[in-house]
Amino acid sequence: MRRKPGDDRMLVIGERINSTRTKIREAIKARDTGHIIREAGGQIAAGASYIDVNCAVTTGDELQDMDWVLSVIQSNIPGANICIDSPNHRALEKGLRLCKSKERPFINSITAERARMKNILPLALEYDTKLVALTMDESGMPATASERLAIASRICDSVKKAGFDIGNLYIDALIRPISTEPEQAVEYLRSIKMIKDLGARTICGLSNVSFGLPDRGLINSIFLAMAVSEGLDAAIIDPTEKHVASSLSAADALLGSDEYCAKYIKAFREGRLI
Amino acid sequence: MRRKPGDDRMLVIGERINSTRTKIREAIKARDTGHIIREAGGQIAAGASYIDVNCAVTTGDELQDMDWVLSVIQSNIPGANICIDSPNHRALEKGLRLCKSKERPFINSITAERARMKNILPLALEYDTKLVALTMDESGMPATASERLAIASRICDSVKKAGFDIGNLYIDALIRPISTEPEQAVEYLRSIKMIKDLGARTICGLSNVSFGLPDRGLINSIFLAMAVSEGLDAAIIDPTEKHVASSLSAADALLGSDEYCAKYIKAFREGRLI
C-alpha cells in the first residue's frame, strides 16, 4: 500500500491515436479531421490528461502525418496536453517543435539502448519535456523485478548525468503476458516501489498483461487497480474502454483521489461504469 | 505488493446463508431444504472453501435452527467446510458440536470486548477451530490503520495467553464506508501488512466499503483486488456475485494462484465473468 490520501491522482495518457490501429491509420491517410477530433475529445472527456500521438506506421511520411495530426488536435482543442510517440527521433523533434501542450509534453520513449538514448535524450532537455523510458536494453526485456530495477537504475544514472530531472522521468517496466509467464504480474507490481525508490516515476502500458486471454478488459482493469494501489504514477491506456474506466473510477474513489466519490457517482449516472 | 507467487490462494468464505437476508430467514422458518442446499452448493461451485452459517435473527430458536441448517448442508454435501457465525456463544457451541467440517471449522467471531472473548475463546480451544476476530472493543470501531493495529495487537496477546495458535486467528479490521469517510479504504489497506506482521492472518467482510454508493459490486470488486494484492488471507463474500467472482478470478490469474489461467478461462467459458 504505497498510495496515500492526498497523493496526486494517477496521470492518464489516452492511447487511442496510434497508427498501429487500423482506423487511426486510415483516418490519417484520408486526412479525416473529424475522426481525429472525436478520438482526442472523447479521451479527454473520459478522463485523459494527455493525448498520445503516434504516426509511425502510416505508409506515408511520418513527419508530415505528425504535423497534420497535431494541427488538427491543437486547433480544435487548444491547450490539449500531448505525448509525442515515435521510435524516430526526427518525428519526435518535429512533434515537439509544433507542440502547444499546456503542460510539459511527454516524449514516448527512450530505452536503455545507447543509440535511442543518444538521439532522444537531447530532445527531452531542449524541449523541457516529461520522458517515458522502457526498461529494455540491447540484450532484451527483463523478467524479474530485480532485472527491471537494474535497467531502470542505469537509465536514471544516464539521464541524471545528462542533466535531466528524474522527477520528470517515467519508467515503464514492461509488463509481459501472464498467459505464458504466470509470475509476470507479481514481478511487475513488485518493481513499482523499487523504481520509485530511485526517485523516478512509474508508468504502465497496460494491455500486454492480458495477451492471449479472453475478456482482456477484465484482467487489464484488475491489474490496473493493483498497480494504482502500489503507487503507479501514470498509465497509457484507453480511458473510453468500459472496464478500464470503471476500474479507474472505483480506484480513485477508494484511494481518496475523488472527494466524496463525486466523480464516481457522475460516471455511474452517465452510464460509463460496468 | 505483499503476495508472492506460490503463496496460498486467498480463502473464500461464502456469506450467503445468513439469517439477516430475508430469503434465508424465510427458508429457515419454512424448513425449505432445497433452498439451503442450492445456496450452499452454488457457493462451493463458485469457489467458496467454507460456508458461513448464521441463524441469529430468525424469530424462532437459534440453536434449533443452527441444528437444522447444519444437518441439511452436511447430509447433502458431506465434508463441507463450515464457518459457524453467531454473537451467541450457546449457538456457536451447538454448531461446533454438530459440525463435520472436513477442515478445521471457523468461529465467526470474537472481538476485543471482554465478555465476548471470555465466552467464545474457550470454544475455539476446545473445538480446535480457526477464529475470526473483529477489531472492535468497548469503545467502538477504529478509524486509522494504527488504531486497528492497536486493537488487533491486544486481541493477539489475549488469544496467545490463552494458548491459541495465532496462525489460526483471522483479524477482520472492519472496513468502513468510503462514501462518508474517503480515507477509510487506504487506512484499511495499510492495516493488512501491519496486522500480518503480528503473526495473525487477515480477513475481510467486504461490502461495508461501498455503503451509500451506486454500483456497489464494482467498488467491492476493485477494493477486493487491492486487498488481495496487499496479502489479504481470507474474505467473507458472495462468490456468486458476478463483480466479485470476476475480480477474484482475475486476481488469482494475475497473482500466480491459477496456473496458466486455467480456472480463469473456465470461468469465462461458463459465462461467470463480467
Question: Could you give the CA distance from residue B82 to residue A269 in angstroms, rounded to a whole number?
Answer: 40
pLDDT computed for residue B124 by the predictor: 98
Quick one: average pLDDT of B52-68?
Answer: 94
Backbone CA torsion sign across A224, B259, A181, A184: positive
Question: Could you give the CA distance from residue A190 to residue B231 in angstroms, rounded to a whole number?
Answer: 13
pLDDT digits (tens, 9 = 90+) for B156-204: 999 999 999 999 999 999 999 999 999 999 999 999 999 999 999 999 9
**Chain B interface mutation, best of A229, A257, A259, highest count of B Cβ atoms under 10 Å:** A229
Task: Sort out which chain B residues have CB atoms less than 8 A from A247's CB and list them.
Answer: 222
Q: Which CA distances in Å does A251 have to A54, A172, B241, B252?
A: 28, 20, 20, 19
Q: Which residue has the cell 477482520?
A: B172
Q: Which CATH superfamily is domain A8-103 in?
A: Dihydropteroate synthase-like (3.20.20.20)
Angle between helices B22-29 and B33-45 (to 10 degrees): 140
Amino acid at A196: K
Contact flag B186-A253 (C-beta cutoff 8 Å): no
Distance from first CA to last CA of chain B, Å, rounded? 25
Strand (E) or helix (H) holding A11: strand A11-14
Contact flag A185-B215 (C-beta cutoff 8 Å): no
CA-based nearest distance B210→chain A, Å: 9
Q: Which residue has the cell 518493481?
A: A191
**Prediction pTM value:** 0.93
pLDDT computed for residue A59 by the predictor: 78
**Which has the closest alpha carbon to A225: A259, A250, A257, A201?**
A250
pLDDT computed for residue B188 by the predictor: 97
pLDDT digits (tens, 9 = 90+) for A241-260: 999 999 999 999 999 989 88
C-alpha cell at A211: 495477451
Quick one: average pLDDT of B11-36?
Answer: 97
pLDDT computed for residue B135 by the predictor: 97
Q: Which residues on neighbouring strands pair with residue B82, listed in sequence order? A: B51
CA dihedral in degrees (B188, B192, B195, B200; nearest 10)?
130
**Which has the closest alpha carbon to B170: B158, B184, B156?**
B156
For B30, counting Cβ atoms within 10 Å of its Cβ (0-12 exposed, 13-18 middle, 19+ buried), the class is exposed
**Chain A interface mutation, best of B146, B204, B254, highest count of A Cβ atoms under 10 Å:** B254
Interface residue B251 vs chain A (CB under 8 A): yes
Amino acid at B185: A
pLDDT computed for residue A7 by the predictor: 62
**CB-based contact A42:A3 (threshold 8 Å):** no
Contact flag B255-A185 (C-beta cutoff 8 Å): yes
pLDDT computed for residue A231 by the predictor: 93
Looking at chain B, which runs of residues are DSSP E strands?
11-14, 50-54, 82-85, 106-110, 130-134, 169-172, 201-205, 234-237
**CB-based contact A255:B186 (threshold 8 Å):** yes
CATH 3.30.110.70 fits A138-266, yes or no: no
CA A208 centroid distance within chain: 13
Question: Could you give the CA distance from residue B65 to residue B85 in angstroms, rounded to a whole number?
Answer: 12
Question: Could you give the CA distance from residue A74 to residue A79 in angstroms, rounded to a whole number?
Answer: 7
Q: Which of B219, B256, B261 sits opposite A254 (nearest CB)?
A: B219
pLDDT computed for residue B7 by the predictor: 61
Q: What is the pLDDT along chain A (274 residues), one digit of tens a residue?
A: 556 655 678 999 999 999 999 999 999 999 999 999 999 999 999 999 999 999 999 878 999 999 999 999 999 999 999 999 999 999 999 999 999 999 999 999 999 999 999 999 999 999 999 999 999 999 999 999 999 999 999 999 999 999 999 999 999 999 999 999 999 999 999 999 999 999 999 999 988 999 999 999 999 999 999 999 999 999 999 999 999 999 999 999 999 989 889 999 999 999 999 9
Contact flag A179-B230 (C-beta cutoff 8 Å): no
Task: Sort out which chain B residues have CB atoms less than 8 A from A146's CB and list them.
Answer: none
How many degrees, rounded to 5, is the angle at CA A69 between CA A64 and CA A75? 120
Question: Could you give the CA distance from residue A176 to residue A240 in angstroms, rounded to a whole number?
Answer: 23
Percent with pLDDT over 90 in chain B: 94
Mean pLDDT (chain B, rounded): 95
Q: Where exactly are the structural domains of chain A?
A: 8-103, 138-266
Contact flag A274-B190 (C-beta cutoff 8 Å): no
**Chain A interface mutation, best of B186, B189, B202, highest count of A Cβ atoms under 10 Å:** B186
CA-based nearest distance A207→chain B, Å: 13
Confidence check on the interface: ipTM exceeds 0.95, yes or no: no
Q: Which of A1, A243, A247 sits opposite B186 (nearest CB)?
A: A1
Quick one: average pLDDT of B26-42?
Answer: 97
Checking if the pLDDT of B211 tops 90, the result is yes
